[in-house]
Amino acid sequence: MAKAKTETAEAVESVRIPPMQRLLDNHFLLLFLGVVVPTVLYLLWGVMELSQIPIAE
């Protein structure tokens, strides 16, 4: 009985978790990306809008 448990535990440990699943399982990384990506996009959008305003004479 104990031998069967150790064999299944070894089989579970030898399974590689795909990189995308590891990424999606990391909640703090998803939170960070969810805050940083929109912030960077809005900053870039704002800079583009400011650069298109004609200079007053």
Instruction: Evaluate if residue 4 carries a pLDDT over 80.
Output: no
Q: What confidence score (pLDDT) does residue 56 get?
A: 87
* pLDDT tens sequence across 8-55: 666 666 789 999 999 899 999 999 999 999 999 999 999 999 999 998
Q: What confidence score (pLDDT) does residue 6 get?
A: 65
**Residues of the chain by 3-state class (helix, strand, coil), percent to 5:** 80, 0, 20
The contacts of residue 29 (CB under 8 Å, 6+ apart) are 23
Task: Say what the pTM is.
Answer: 0.61
